[in-house]
Amino acid sequence: MINIATLFSRCLSPILLTTIALSTVAVSAQAGNMYIYKDKVGQVLLTNVNPSGSFDKFTKKVKTTYYKNSNNYGSSVARNYGNSAASNSGSRNAYDSYIRDSSARHGVDPGLLKAMMHTESAFNPNARSPVGAQGLMQLMPATARRFKVSNAWNPAENIEGSAKYIAWLMRRFNNNVEFAVAGYNAGEGNVDKYKGIPPFKETRNYVKRVMSRYNSLYKNDSALSGNTMSASNASVDGGAMQTVSYGTSSNGSSASYANSAYAALR
C-alpha cells in the first residue's frame, strides 16, 4: 500500500485546505481506508495507513473514511486492464460471421463474445479442457444441454449456445459485464455467493484477460459490427436494447473525501 501522508497547519485557509486535499486525495482515494489524525498542537495528518515513524506524534484520530480499493472486484467500476496481443491463430477470424449472427439474435456485444472465445479456446474448434469443456467457447456438457446445444463440436451451435448463456448472465447481473464474464467461468452461483467476482485466482485472471482483449482488440473491430449491431456495448433485457457503459469513473470520490476532510477540521 502506498503511504500517502499530508500535513495541514491549523492556520491554513479553507480554500487552500480544500485545494491541497483535492490534489492529494485524487491518488489516495483509491487506497482503501483514509484517516485524519491530529497532534497536540492541532496539526493534521491525512494518510491511508496508521501513523508511524516520524508521524507518531499524531495520536488523535479525527475521522476514518472508507473508499473501495481499485482492486475490489465486488464493485462495478471501469478498470484499466492494459493491452493484449492479437491472436496468432490462423482461424482467428474464421468464426466472425457466426459471432455476428448469434450476437445479433441474443443482444450480446460481438466484441465481448470474440474476446471470450479468444480466451476460452484460442479459436480452436476442437479444444477440450481437462474437465470436459468443449469447443470454441468451452461449453460444459451440462451447459450445452441447458441451452439446447446438441453438438458442442459444431462451431455454429457452440457459439449460439454460448451467446444465449452470456445474454442470460447479463440479464441476471443487471448488465454488469465483469460479473457476467466471471459467471461464465466460475458459475453464476459463485458470483452470487461472493457478491461479485469470486476470489479465485483463475477466475480473476480470466476476467482480466477477457476484458483486456475486449477493450484493446475487439471492442471497435469493424469486422464484427457488420450490419447487425455496432460494437457499442449493448445487451438485451426483456426485449429492450440497453446500453452498457464502460466509460471511466468520475473523480467524485476524491471531491467527497476533500469535503469531508475539511468539515472534520472546521
By annotation, the residues acting in catalysis are 120
Cα distance between residue 179 and residue 121, in whole Å: 20
Locate 143 and state its grid cell: 451447459
Q: Which residues pair with 240 in a beta bridge?
A: 237
* Contact status, residue 179 vs residue 204, Cβ threshold 8 Å: no
Please choose, from the candidates 169, 179, 172, 106, the residue with its C-alpha nearest in 3D space to the C-alpha of residue 143. Answer: 169
Please choose, from the candidates 211, 173, 167, 3, the residue with its C-alpha nearest in 3D space to the C-alpha of residue 74. Answer: 173
Q: Which amino acid belongs to residue 179? A: F
Q: Which residues pair with 38 in a beta bridge?
A: 44, 60
Give me the phi and psi of 82, to 5 degrees please.
75, -170
Cα distance between residue 197 and residue 6, in whole Å: 34
* Contact status, residue 140 vs residue 133, Cβ threshold 8 Å: yes
